[in-house]
Structures are given as structure tokens and as C-alpha cells.
Structure 1
Amino acid sequence: MRITVLGGLGAWPTAGQGCGGFLVEHDGFRLLVDPGYATLPPLLSRLPAAAVDAAYVSHGHPDHCADLQPLLRARILADRSGPALPVHAPAGSLDRLLAIDEPGLLDGAYLLREFTPGDRFALGPFTVRTWALPHWVANAGARFETGGATLAYTGDTGASPDLVDLARDADLLIADATYVDAIPERHAGNLSSAAEVGRYAAVASVRRVLLTHLWPGTEASSAVAAARRAYDGRVEVAEPGLVVDCPS
């Protein structure tokens, strides 16, 4: 399994980086995970829009799904005979995004496969198990397994005992680390810190950690140091272009 980082910021993109988004590949199958703001250009620098085989969206906030819309335009307007893109997302989470275009324009561009967080299903070569994790809207953390490799991904989440089960023995954990340590009261219970990620990654015996959804302007070195206070494995920050092979 190969994971390519398209972006790693939360909330909004900057001039140099998009929001969190990941290309996950195995045996020629290309899965796009959370195509947030400004993740489409780095994706298209690697492969054409039509080469994406499926998409997974953890929740409906635009920093996790906004660039799905131009991806669908790029596919359907270039070739209306091309296959529909299977899009897996929590039920109702993409309704507003998919309704912003003129009626009928995206007909045939996608096949929406809605699920309830907690469901298990097959997605191409991956077996996917999902968890309902705490956020302001329905958020589905997911565990992708294939070929003896495991990727765990939190989406956006507050503290939850389910995070240990999600991450257990994963080759790679991609985790919400919006803040370095202290979480502002207005976000408590709905977002995480790098320090928290380090604590549950250690308990879950994760092999490698990738911190994502950092608040724009956060020093990457500070986030890594906070996670390493409890976790002694490899810790990195999701930055565009980073490629991780699992198992590494």
C-alpha cells in the first residue's frame, strides 16, 4: 500500500499547501481519501482525473471534501462516456456539496455509496472498517486493510476510546492533530492535539504516525515533539509530496 500526501492543513489552505487529502494505492487501484480544499492540483500533477478509481470522504466539512466537486467536473466534462466515480461517504454528508452545480451537470459523474459510521464494507482491494468519532458533524474514522498492510485514518475527531481500536497495530496512523497540545475550549471534544495522538498511538502500538489537519501556521517540529512525548515510534507531519509505503 502506498500513501501520497496531497495536503495536510485543517480549516483552510495556504499559498503553499492544501488541506488534508491522501492518495492511497494498492495493486493499481487508486483511492482518494478526503479531497479537501486545494488537493486537486497536486493530485492532477500525478495522474489524470479519470485515473482515480474511488473516493472516501470522512465527513462533510469542506476542508475534507470541497475538491471532490471540481474532480467530478474534470471527469464528466472531459468525457461523458467515462465510468462514474464511486464515492463512499457518511449518509447525507455530501448533499450540499453535490447540489451546488447546475442541475444535471454531474449526472453520471459519480455513484454515491452512503454508509453509517460503524459500517464495514469492501472498497476495491481494501477492507474498510469505520468508527463514529466525535466531531460537530458525523465523522467516520476508517481502517483500510489490504495485502497485509493497515492504514488507520481518523478524519477529524475529539478524544475517544475508539481511537485505540481504530489504530491498533496499524502500519500507519494518519491522525487529526489540529493543535500541538492545549485545545481551545470552543473546540474541546471535537478536535485533537498532537500530544493526544502520541498517547493513544503508544497504547495502540502503531508502527508509524503521520500528523494531519494542523492549524495553518503551526510549527511542524512543535507538533512532532508533542507527539513524541508519549510515542517513541516514527512521527512526521503530512506535507505535500510525502510518500509512505506500508509496510515500510
Structure 2
Amino acid sequence: MAKTSDSSGTEQRGPRHVAIIMDGNGRWATQRGRPRLFGHHAGAKRVREIVEACPDLGVKYLTIFAFSTENWKRTQVEVAGLMSLFRRYITKEARALKEEGVRVRFIGDRVKLDAKLIKLMDDLEELTSENDRVHLTIALNYGGRDEVARATKRLAQDVAAGRLDPESVDEETLPRYLDTFVLPDPDLVIRTSGEARISNFLLWQSAYAEYEFIDTLWPDFTEKVFAGLIGNYGARDRRFGGVKT
């Protein structure tokens, strides 16, 4: 794999942080004459394979888009089914994630989520808090604009309270208020299913990310496909606005 450099000039061989918009579950199910939730269950199973592939591919951080702030517009049946799936996934996978060295974090606004799901999320974060092999971040009720708005509100509150000098605010200040404040920015963002848009995902953090839009539907996204995209990234010339001499 070709060597690349991050924004600090440190040499690296591949993306350290990969973010994935997992799209196409519903279409995958429809193509098979099954209900959309069947596709979501298939997609949830695919997550395990991709998480397990990360260490061998050199990916330390994986962020997946599970449910957006806009997904509430879907039918009540589908939304309820997805919430049930999230609860089942966390309950079923918690021990394996702990044993496999995966640290799990959730980003997004938890206000609209039910209390049982929030408790499961909190417990999983606590259970895996000492793990460091792979950092899995799950974006649940997440939207990039919503995240920036919430971060800006907290920043404004600190200014109003005298905890933050407004003259000191620069582009390094806001990230400290984002949901992802403990994570490095993504190096590579992948979207499956043939759609070529970012759908309000990690808007601030992805300013210098490389993008891959592929036709593969998420339930068909295998470790082999993932590895191929990692290889493509390694061949790219990342200059971060500069010019190599």
C-alpha cells in the first residue's frame, strides 16, 4: 500500500479513521422480496465483519452512520423496528465487543431516544471504556448540522458565563464542543449503494477526508470490498491544500 501523510506531515500507510454511510439495506431487502427491516438486520450482521477486519487493515477508528436525525421521517413501523434492532444489537454484541478489544462510543442527540436504549448505550460505553484495539463510534440520531448547532450553543454558553474569551475562538475551538471531540478527523468516508451525497454526516470533521461512493449495497459490503477501498486510499496524493516539491 502506498504511503501517505496526514495534516501534520506524519507518514502513514492508510486511513487511520474510516467513516461509513451504511446505505442500501432497504433496497437490498426489496430486491429479494422481503420487508425493509429484513435488510436492516442483514446490515447489522455486516457491521461485525467490518469491525473485525479493521486491525488487519490498519484502521484504528471506525465510525458508522446508523440512524440520522432525518430518519425519523420514515414510517413508524420502520423506525420502531430500527430502535428494536439497536437494542438487540447492543445486548447481543456487548460481550463480544468487550472481549475483542473494541471501544464503543455513541454520537448524536440522545434526547429523542427511549430510556432503555439510552441505558444500553451508556452501559456499553462503560463496559468497553478500557479497550483500545478498535474504536467503534456509532452515530445514532445524528446529524452534522444538528451537532454543529448543539456545539455552538455550548460554546456560546461558555462565552456568556465568562469561561471562554470570544477573541480566542478560532477553528480549533469549535471541535472541542463537537460529539467527536476525542476522535481524530476521518481520513476516508465511504458511502455504499450508489448515492453520491454525504447526507449531513460529519460535516465539520470531513473537511479534508477522501471520499468513496460505491454501488455496493451495505449488506453486500464485504471485507474484500473494504480492503480494496483501503488500498485505493493508499494510492491517493493527499496534500491538504499544499503543493509537494
Whichever structure has more strand as a proportion of its residues is 1
Point out which structure has higher relative CO (alpha carbons under 8 A, 6+ apart): 2
TM-score by length of 2: 0.34
Whichever structure has more helix as a proportion of its residues is 2
